[in-house]
Structure 1
Amino acid sequence: MQWVEVSIDTSHEAMELVSEILQELGAGGVVIEDPALLNEYIRSGLWDYTDLKESDETEVVTVKAYWAMDDALEGKLQNLAARLAALTANGVDKGAGTVSWRAVADEDWSETWKEFFHTEKIGERTVIKPTWEDYEAKAEEIVVELDPGAAFGTGQHTTTALCIRALETLVKPGMTVFDVGTGSGVLSIVAAKLGAGRVEAVDFDPVAVRIAAENVRQNGVANVVRTGQSDLLKSVEGKADLIIANIIADIIMRLFGEVKESLAAGAWMLLSGIIEDRLHDVTKAAARHGFHVERIEEEKGWAAVIVRGDA
Structure 2
Amino acid sequence: MPWLELSLVVRTDQQPSAEEALDELGALSITLQDADAETPDEQAIFEPGVGELPLWPTITLNALFDAGTDRRGLIETLSELLSWLEPEQVVFRDVADQDWERAWMDQFKPMSFGRRLWIYPWNIEPPEDNDLVVVRLDPGLAFGSGTHPTTALCLEWLDGLSLGGKTVIDYGCGSGILAIAALKLGAASAVGIDNDPQALIASADNAQRNGVANKLAVFEPGAGNMASADIFIANILAGPLGALAPTFAALAKPGAPFAISGILAGQQEELLQRYAEWFDELQVDTREDWVRISGRRRV
Q: TM-score range by the shorter chain?
A: 0.7 to 0.9
Residues 84 and 147 of structure 1: CA distance in aligned 2, closer, same or farther (over 3 Å):
farther
Given candidates 279, 285, 301, the residue that maps to 2:289 is 301
Residues 163 and 61 of structure 1: CA distance in aligned 2, closer, same or farther (over 3 Å):
farther
Structure 1 residues 75-224: aligned runs within 5 Å: 75-76=68-69, 79-83=70-74, 85-86=76-77, 96=85, 98-102=89-93, 108-224=99-215
Supply the distance in 1 between the matched residues of 2:49 and 2:211 (Cα, whole angstroms).
32
Q: Which amino acid aligns with 1:136?
A: P
Q: Residues 39 and 55 of structure 1 are in contact (CA less than 8 Å); yes or no, is this contact kept in structure 2? A: no
Given candidates 6, 11, 16, the residue that maps to 1:12 is 16
Q: Residues 15 and 63 of structure 1 are in contact (CA less than 8 Å); yes or no, is this contact kept in structure 2? A: no
Percentage of pairs with the same residue? 30
Supply the distance in 2 between the matched residues of 1:39 and 1:177 (Cα, whole angstroms).
25
Deviations 1:236-273 (A, max 9, x none): 51111111110111111112222333221211211111
Residues 62 and 309 of structure 1: CA distance in aligned 2, closer, same or farther (over 3 Å):
same
Given candidates 223, 238, 248, the residue that maps to 2:227 is 238
Deviations 1:206-232 (A, max 9, x none): 11111111111111111211112115x
Given candidates 262, 267, 278, the residue that maps to 2:256 is 267
Q: Residues 252 and 271 of structure 1 are in contact (CA less than 8 Å); yes or no, is this contact kept in structure 2? A: yes
Residues 17 and 209 of structure 1: CA distance in aligned 2, closer, same or farther (over 3 Å):
farther
Supply the distance in 2 between the matched residues of 1:292 and 1:93 (Cα, whole angstroms).
34
Deviations 1:114-157 (A, max 9, x none): 32111122222111111111111433211111113322110110
Residues 217 and 13 of structure 1: CA distance in aligned 2, closer, same or farther (over 3 Å):
farther
Supply the distance in 1 between the matched residues of 2:20 and 2:225 (Cα, whole angstroms).
23
Q: Which residue in 2 is equivalent to 1:21?
A: 26
- Residue 87 of structure 1: CA displacement? 6.3
2:36 is the counterpart of 1:37: no
Q: Which amino acid aligns with 2:138?
A: D
Residues 133 and 239 of structure 1: CA distance in aligned 2, closer, same or farther (over 3 Å):
same
SS at match of 1:244: strand
SS at match of 2:274: helix
Residues 230 and 13 of structure 1: CA distance in aligned 2, closer, same or farther (over 3 Å):
farther
Q: Residues 66 and 109 of structure 1 are in contact (CA less than 8 Å); yes or no, is this contact kept in structure 2? A: no
State the superposition RMSD in angstroms.
3.3
Residues 88 and 126 of structure 1: CA distance in aligned 2, closer, same or farther (over 3 Å):
farther
Per the normalisation by structure 1, the TM-score is 0.77
- Residue 86 of structure 1: CA displacement? 4.0
Supply the distance in 2 between the matched residues of 1:140 and 1:258 (Cα, whole angstroms).
36
Residues 66 and 303 of structure 1: CA distance in aligned 2, closer, same or farther (over 3 Å):
closer
- Residue 307 of structure 1: CA displacement? 1.8
Per the normalisation by structure 2, the TM-score is 0.80
Q: Which amino acid aligns with 1:275?
A: L
SS at match of 1:273: strand
Supply the distance in 2 between the matched residues of 1:244 and 1:2 (Cα, whole angstroms).
34
- More deviation in 177-186 or 120-129? 120-129
Q: Which amino acid aligns with 2:287?
A: E
Residues 270 and 127 of structure 1: CA distance in aligned 2, closer, same or farther (over 3 Å):
same
Q: Any unmatched runs of 5+ in structure 2?
A: 35-46
Q: Residues 14 and 94 of structure 1 are in contact (CA less than 8 Å); yes or no, is this contact kept in structure 2? A: no
2:239 is the counterpart of 1:250: yes
Residues 254 and 6 of structure 1: CA distance in aligned 2, closer, same or farther (over 3 Å):
closer
- More deviation in 245-254 or 145-154? 145-154
Q: Residues 201 and 227 of structure 1 are in contact (CA less than 8 Å); yes or no, is this contact kept in structure 2? A: yes
Q: Residues 2 and 96 of structure 2 are in contact (CA less than 8 Å); yes or no, is this contact kept in structure 1? A: yes
